Structure 1
Amino acid sequence: MEVRIQRSTVIATSPPTTEALELPLTIFDRVAPGRQVAIVFAFSAPAPSNSELIKSLSRTLLLHFPRLTACLGGDPHNPCVILGGSEGGALLVEATVDSNLDDYMPLQPSPELARLHPNTTSASHLLQVQLNRFRCGGLIVGITAHHRVADGHSMGTFFVAWSKITRGIPLDPIPNYDLSWLKPRFPPKIEFEHWGADFIPPKHCNNTFLLSQSFVEPHSTSNILIHYSYEFINSKLKAGVKEKFTTFEVLLGHIWRKITIARAVGKGETTMIRVPVNGRRRLRPPVSNEFIGNLVLDAYPMSKAGELINGGVETAAAIIRETVRRIDNRYFQSFIDFGEMNKEENLVPVYDLCGNLLFPNLEADSWLGLQFEDIDFGGGGSLCAFLPTWLTTDGLVIFLPRLCENGGVDVFVALLQEHAQILKNISHDMY
């Protein structure tokens, strides 16, 4: 795939002479991964022109998502985002591809996807957008966003808002930055251990760091996409268990077991999943779905490999359900109080020291409720595919909604090449 960059510009939401405004990061911003996340969205022709998309993007950022045009600042003890001034803005890249979009459909994981979005390792902007126009008129929008300013839920809200504004549809309800829910108790009460699970333990703390610090050469990892129809999920996975589990619980339980088998993890070895949990519905009272920022903490379901495999899908799903349910209002409130008591510490999230070899563990992210499938820029074309970029972290699993007529779930998996091939062969086996 030959991608030719035509031009690049920076979309600013305020004049360079505007006085900069510093906004401290919340404790949930500080625990978020310090990295860019890249996604590509493919739209069939006809798609709106670049000028239309750029105009609506600028309006979306100005009116509703100014934090995406900020820059990170402060020091490790008092990090912040800086709005306005001479820095910041969102990077906008226009590119062309001298081939037809259909040549790459259905979209599959490939290292070539990285050409369709700006570089993530040397990014100088928190939001980067690349408009890739194909010969047929089709469009792939490649986007990278820094996790410290927005979680997946917030980015889903952003994408849908941009598409609505492109079509001239008013936003209702309006995205908000209301932090009235972020209140520590008086006195603060830390009920759970957050060192090691959320932040790297300080030297004086004996807590165990839960995640792997092992590394592997990036070229050793392969990306695969496994398709699960609702028929398979309902008639094979859910029908085989006594309790009523969610699609996420049974499918993740199934995938966890299959990956553990593919990796040939020793029966007595512990395997664990890092599962991000959205706090908007967990806190009491609940936080608005339109809140923009970070509000995610992790659950860590774990099991001995032998017990996981021998126990079947029901055992795996039950472990996941029980562990995720523990990340409730009490846990989130404890974390808020932890943030209050350690707000001037140099807090390093566990993500920042995690290696790219998670074996024998996993990270499982669900994009099933992030509204990505609702993105519609108009113009006559439609969203026909979306994927994360090529990823080199062994053990990363992402659930995506299938866009086909019968629906289902696509499971994106990054694994060492030898394990990925085995997983492809056993992905639908029920043993």
Structure 2
Amino acid sequence: MEVKVTSSTILTSPISHPSDIPLTIFDRFATNIHIAVLYAFTPPTSNNADIISGLSNTLVHFPTLTGKLTTNSYARPSLTVGGPHGGALLVEATVSSKLEDHLPLPPSPDFRLLHPEVNDAKHLLQVQLNRFQCGGLVIGVTNHHRVADGQSMSTFFVAWGKMVRGVPVDSLPVYDQSWLKPRDPPLVQFDHWGTDFIPLSPQPNEFCVTPVYADPSEITNMLLHFSAEFIIKLKAQTNASSTVKYTTFQTLLGHLWRMVTIARQLDDEECTMVRVSVNGRPRLQPPVPMEFFGNLVLNAYPKAKARALIEGGAAMAAGIVREAVRDVGEDYFRSFIDLGEVYGNRDLVPCYDVDGNVISPKLEVDSWLGFQFDEVDFGGGGGLCAFLPINWVPLEGLLIFIPALSRNGGVDVFVSLLEKHAVRFREISHSLD
């Protein structure tokens, strides 16, 4: 793929006077990296000038995306918004090939050329508009996770598309953090040490993790499609032996958890665990608006021994996922907020930060099924034809669920495994036996 950058500019912050915003405990729990996504649109599309103008107008409502991560006078991580620093990077580029030659955008290291470099990125939001020979458009966007989670970014993308099309934006971001106010006195009623954050002063052998690394060439990424018909059959099989009606996510995750465990050939008694992202907005009371912009996500941790998981069937696996996610309720989120009040000035390190790039026997799972990424429309008459939640990642054990864009619906799942395990996984991923 030949990509030629034709221009690069900085869209300045819409706020003239700088101000410091302390990062919340949820921001500090978010992974400290840029997340890269790709949107592909068939021609005709809106021109670059209209898309850039729409972006500038949208950032007026999303100023934190133009900020800069800093440390305040109390040595606490914060976000500086406004002033001469920060801004958003906007790159324009052309691609010599036709868009259809690259569809449906399977994960590939080559696609790194379609968005600005994420290593040592100077801006929290980076956008690259890639014009293909046929007139097709791929918009590559990277944003820093400590400023916004997936729910927040879906709100941003939908608003940006409406701004370009001249449609009123009816879901503006909400920045009110009164929902995140700690209790008085704070009550840390759950043990978040060793689960969410590394213990501040671990006892000998209390928290021992040996990172496992593999050469990136040994890790493969794939995007698997599970049709609506397949999911109906899977749910019927799962629900047949249970009085509980499992959701699509619970059912499909339970199935894939078992298939990955088989492919990895784990020992019978080895404990396998899934880190599942849980959106706190609907769990806090009163519920936080979905338009809340920032981070408000914690993890659930379903666990099982390998043999029991495999032999227990799809219903058992879905049930373990369901119960673990239900346990991360309002009390857990309130306890986490109070943890931030008590230990907010300490150096807090999320447990996943000590992992290598091979997390087996664990899995890291994110569901984007409830987001609006598939509703993004930048106008012009063409349509969204492909969406890739991440172009390529040298991390074994990552799964991302996204709504499929195909006519028959269903779910696409991004999966990253060691190639030696991926061979077997591909063979059994759609097995209902």
Tell me whether the two structures share a fold, i.e. TM-score over 0.5.
Answer: yes
- Structure 1 window deviating more from structure 2 (225-234 vs 286-295): it is 225-234
Matches within 5 A, 1:6-155: 6-14=6-14, 18-62=16-60, 64-74=61-71, 77-155=75-153
Query: Which amino acid is 1:10 matched to?
Result: I
Q: Match for residue 341 of structure 1?
A: 342
Q: Match for residue 358 of structure 2?
A: 357
How far apart, in 2, do the equivalents of 1:270 and 1:348 lie? 23
Matched pairs, number? 428
1:397 corresponds to which of 396, 399, 405: 399
1:217 corresponds to which of 215, 226, 229: 215
How far apart, in 1, do the equivalents of 2:11 and 2:85 lie? 11
| 1:327-352: CA deviation from partner (whole Å, max 9, x where unpaired) | 00000000011110111111122233
How far apart, in 2, do the equivalents of 1:155 and 1:113 lie? 20
Residue 180 of structure 1, CA deviation: 1.1
Q: Is the Cα contact below 8 Å between 1:212 and 1:358 reproduced in 2?
A: no
Query: Which amino acid is 2:310 matched to?
Result: I
How far apart, in 1, do the equivalents of 2:104 and 2:17 lie? 47
1:414 corresponds to which of 406, 416, 426: 416
Residue 205 of structure 1, CA deviation: 5.4
Q: 1:85 to 1:209 in 2, by over 3 A?
A: farther
Q: Match for residue 274 of structure 1?
A: 275
Q: Secondary structure at the match of 2:94?
A: strand
Residue 354 of structure 1, CA deviation: 2.5
Q: 1:289 to 1:211 in 2, by over 3 A?
A: farther
Query: Which amino acid is 1:293 matched to?
Result: G
| 1:250-309: CA deviation from partner (whole Å, max 9, x where unpaired) | 100000000000010111100000001000001111001111000000111010000000
Q: Is the Cα contact below 8 Å between 1:101 and 1:138 reproduced in 2?
A: yes
Q: Match for residue 293 of structure 1?
A: 294
How far apart, in 1, do the equivalents of 2:148 and 2:41 lie? 24
Residue 317 of structure 1, CA deviation: 0.3
Q: 1:61 to 1:277 in 2, by over 3 A?
A: same
How far apart, in 2, do the equivalents of 1:211 and 1:55 lie? 48
Q: Is the Cα contact below 8 Å between 2:90 and 2:127 reproduced in 1?
A: yes
Q: Match for residue 373 of structure 2?
A: 372
Q: 1:231 to 1:428 in 2, by over 3 A?
A: same
Q: 1:257 to 1:231 in 2, by over 3 A?
A: same
How far apart, in 2, do the equivalents of 1:142 and 1:333 lie? 36
Residue 19 of structure 1, CA deviation: 3.3
Residue 174 of structure 1, CA deviation: 2.1
Matches within 5 A, 1:300-339: 300-339=301-340
Q: 1:103 to 1:339 in 2, by over 3 A?
A: same
Identity over aligned pairs, percent: 53
Q: Match for residue 2 of structure 1?
A: 2
Query: Which amino acid is 1:56 matched to?
Result: G
| 1:146-185: CA deviation from partner (whole Å, max 9, x where unpaired) | 0000000000111101001111111113211011111111
Q: Match for residue 227 of structure 2?
A: 229
| 1:219-267: CA deviation from partner (whole Å, max 9, x where unpaired) | 1100111111111111234334323000000100000000000010111
Q: Secondary structure at the match of 2:179?
A: coil
Residue 206 of structure 1, CA deviation: 6.8
Residue 355 of structure 1, CA deviation: 1.6
Q: Match for residue 430 of structure 1?
A: 432
How far apart, in 2, do the equivalents of 1:275 and 1:231 lie? 25
How far apart, in 1, do the equivalents of 2:209 and 2:56 lie? 39
Q: Is the Cα contact below 8 Å between 1:32 and 1:351 reproduced in 2?
A: no
How far apart, in 2, do the equivalents of 1:401 and 1:320 lie? 20
- Structure 1 window deviating more from structure 2 (208-217 vs 118-127): it is 208-217
Query: Which amino acid is 2:348 matched to?
Result: L
Compute the TM-score of the two structures, normalised by the length of structure 1: 0.96
- Structure 1 window deviating more from structure 2 (2-11 vs 194-203): it is 194-203
Q: 1:205 to 1:334 in 2, by over 3 A?
A: farther
Compute the TM-score of the two structures, normalised by the length of structure 2: 0.96
Query: Which amino acid is 1:42 matched to?
Result: A
How far apart, in 1, do the equivalents of 2:319 and 2:89 lie? 44
Unaligned runs of at least 5 residues, structure 2: none
Q: Secondary structure at the match of 2:321?
A: helix
Query: Which amino acid is 2:349 matched to?
Result: V
Query: Which amino acid is 2:423 matched to?
Result: Q
Q: 1:365 to 1:319 in 2, by over 3 A?
A: same
Query: Which amino acid is 1:426 matched to?
Result: I
Query: Which amino acid is 2:42 matched to?
Result: S
| Residues 1:284 and 2:285 are matched in the alignment | yes
How far apart, in 2, do the equivalents of 1:238 and 1:300 lie? 25
Query: Which amino acid is 1:393 matched to?
Result: L
Residue 212 of structure 1, CA deviation: 6.6
How far apart, in 2, do the equivalents of 1:40 and 1:420 lie? 24
Q: Secondary structure at the match of 1:137?
A: coil
Q: Is the Cα contact below 8 Å between 1:2 and 1:97 reproduced in 2?
A: yes
Unaligned runs of at least 5 residues, structure 1: none
Residue 104 of structure 1, CA deviation: 1.1
